[in-house]
């Protein structure tokens, strides 16, 4: 595998899957997309057209049987990850699973148990914020201690609108899962409790969806992250963080584009979706995953990080329905297996 191009199957040809097909074809070295898997033939064909020579398949098993694959990117909804991850592990493929690792804690546990039967971690989880320049600078600032201890984080996570079938629990499991991963990454310690507050409902949200919500994530030493999740805010895609230190405030996520003062107004464009807001981070993430796969490693958040996030998300969904502060109980200690294979720069 080391000198040849990695032959990648992309499973799930929706917005994210198609974006990865284009990325690998146009900007990533050392890999090419040889298979696109989606039960929707039109979607598979449209995505495969972005990668010359790529074949299409309706199911992952068909791709395994029908072509040579070294690696797989899984970009289906979370509840469909395990049925792809388990056979991919059996084949010893390099795996990039989009977030969340899976949709339940039990499923995440089955995945990490299956992975630990191998010689080393094979799964990297697509928490792309760990590759974003702003988050990395913020993490370094916390580590340096230059402004004293980190006391609190104001996080805004805003989407223009929701896709079909987006439910209230998805606010936690599909959206805030990013803060659930990145807050410990920045703070350097785990989340110990979750609480959810619900302000006045946005009438522009689909019927029955209660949002925005405020999700309070408390870390071990008491740093509090207050996450505003708003998913039908219309104006575009915005993810910002203001970090409150003992002697100063650091802000990331607001200055992505040029600011223009003209005709009596100051304006700046807003990214329409996560594809643009985190485009550079995705590029770094996928290049490092490909390079690591050639070395027989992963280089980013592992399935263990995916499992930890699923435990916190579970507590978050409970907090959402109960209105209570829910203490996060981690049933497992980090296995030694996960101390290797993922580079320190982006792994917890
Ligand atoms: C989507 O799946 C993502 O991962 C985006 O980053 C997030 O902002 C959005 O809320 C999710 O639905």
Distance in angstroms between the alpha carbons of the first and the last residue of the chain: 28
Q: Using CA atoms, how far apart are residues 340 and 29, in angstroms rounded to an integer?
A: 25
Indicate whether 289 and 272 sit together in one domain.
no
pLDDT for position 20: 98
Total of domains in the chain: 2
CATH code at 165?
3.30.360.10
Mutation test residue for ligand 1: of 17, 162, 174, the one with most atoms within 8 Å of CB: 174
Indicate whether 122 and 231 sit together in one domain.
no
Indicate whether 102 and 169 sit together in one domain.
no
3 state SS of 193: strand
Indicate whether 137 and 112 sit together in one domain.
no
Give, for 327, the enclosing helix (H) or strand (E).
strand 326-327
Identify whether 318 is part of a domain: no
Indicate whether 271 and 291 sit together in one domain.
no
Mutation test residue for ligand 1: of 97, 178, 238, the one with most atoms within 8 Å of CB: 178
Ligand 1 atom 9 nearest Cα: 175
CA nearest 31: which of 85, 75, 70, 76? 70
Lowest-confidence region among 85-94, 126-135, 201-210, 339-348: 339-348
Indicate whether 145 and 233 sit together in one domain.
yes
150: which strand partners? Answer: 245
For residue 154, report the distance from its CA to the centre of ligand 1, in Å.
18
CA nearest 153: which of 239, 91, 281, 265? 239
Radius of gyration of the chain (CA): 20
11: which strand partners? Answer: 37, 74
Which residues contact residue 144 at a Cβ distance below 8 angstroms, ignoring those fewer than 6 apart?
none
For residue 274, report the distance from its CA to the centre of ligand 1, in Å.
7
CA nearest 306: which of 342, 276, 278? 342
CATH code at 40?
3.40.50.720
Indicate whether 139 and 268 sit together in one domain.
yes
Nearest atom of ligand 1 to the alpha carbon of 229: 10
- What average pLDDT does range 14-18 have in this prediction? 97
Indicate whether 290 and 202 sit together in one domain.
no
Nearest atom of ligand 1 to the alpha carbon of 274: 6
Indicate whether 91 and 69 sit together in one domain.
yes
For residue 237, report the distance from its CA to the centre of ligand 1, in Å.
10
Identify whether 338 is part of a domain: no
Structural domain boundaries enclosing 261: 131-277
Nearest atom of ligand 1 to the alpha carbon of 277: 6
The separation between CA 173 and the C-alpha centre of its own chain, rounded to angstroms, equals 11
Identify whether 257 is part of a domain: yes
Residues with CB under 6 A from ligand 1: 159, 174-175, 178, 231, 274
Identify whether 91 is part of a domain: yes
- Kindly tell me if the per-residue pLDDT of 34 is higher than 50: yes
- What average pLDDT does range 299-303 have in this prediction? 98
Instruction: Measure Cα distances from 218 to 133, 180, 276, 280 in Å.
Output: 24, 10, 30, 29
The structure's pTM equals 0.95
Nearest atom of ligand 1 to the alpha carbon of 166: 12
pLDDT digits (tens, 9 = 90+) for 311-347: 999 999 999 999 999 999 999 999 999 996 444 445 4
Identify whether 218 is part of a domain: yes
Tell me the percentage of the chain whose pLDDT exceeds 70: 96
Phi and psi, residue 81, nearest 5°: -75, -50
- Kindly tell me if the per-residue pLDDT of 348 is higher than 70: no
pLDDT for position 2: 53
């Amino acid at each position: 595998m080391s000198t040849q191009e990695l032959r990648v199957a992309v499973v799930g040809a929706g917005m994210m899957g198609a974006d990865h097909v284009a990325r690998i074809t146009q900007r990533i070295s050392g890999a090419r997309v040889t298979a696109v898997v989606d039960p929707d033939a039109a979607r598979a064909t449209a995505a495969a057209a972005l990668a010359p020579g790529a074949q299409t398949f309706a199911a992952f098993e068909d791709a395994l049987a029908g072509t040579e694959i070294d690696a797989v990117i899984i970009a289906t909804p979370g509840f469909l990850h395990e049925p792809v991850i388990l056979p991919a592990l059996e084949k010893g493929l390099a795996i990039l699973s989009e977030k969340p690792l899976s949709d339940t804690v039990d499923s995440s546990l089955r995945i990490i148990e299956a992975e630990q039967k191998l010689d080393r971690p094979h799964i990297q989880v697509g928490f792309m914020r760990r590759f974003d320049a702003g988050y990395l600078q913020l993490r370094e600032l916390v580590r340096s201690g230059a402004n004293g201890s980190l006391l609190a984080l104001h996080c805004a996570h805003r989407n223009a609108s929701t896709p079909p079938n987006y439910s209230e629990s998805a606010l936690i499991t599909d959206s805030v899962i990013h803060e659930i991963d990145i807050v410990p990454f920045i703070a350097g310690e785990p989340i110990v409790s979750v609480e959810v507050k619900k302000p006045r409902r946005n009438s522009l949200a689909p019927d029955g969806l209660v949002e925005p919500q405020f999700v309070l994530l408390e870390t071990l030493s008491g740093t509090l992250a207050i996450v505003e999740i708003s998913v039908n805010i219309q104006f575009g895609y915005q993810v910002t963080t203001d970090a409150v230190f003992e002697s100063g405030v650091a802000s990331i996520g607001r200055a992505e584009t040029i600011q223009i003062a003209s005709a009596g107004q100051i304006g700046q464009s807003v990214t329409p979706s996560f594809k643009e807001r985190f485009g550079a981070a995705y590029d770094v993430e996928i290049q490092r995953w490909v390079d690591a796969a050639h070395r027989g490693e992963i280089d980013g958040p592992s399935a263990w990080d995916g499992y930890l996030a699923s435990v916190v998300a579970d507590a978050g969904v409970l907090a959402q329905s109960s209105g209570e502060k829910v203490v996060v109980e981690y049933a497992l200690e980090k296995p030694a297996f996960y101390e290797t294979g993922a580079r320190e720069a982006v792994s917890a």
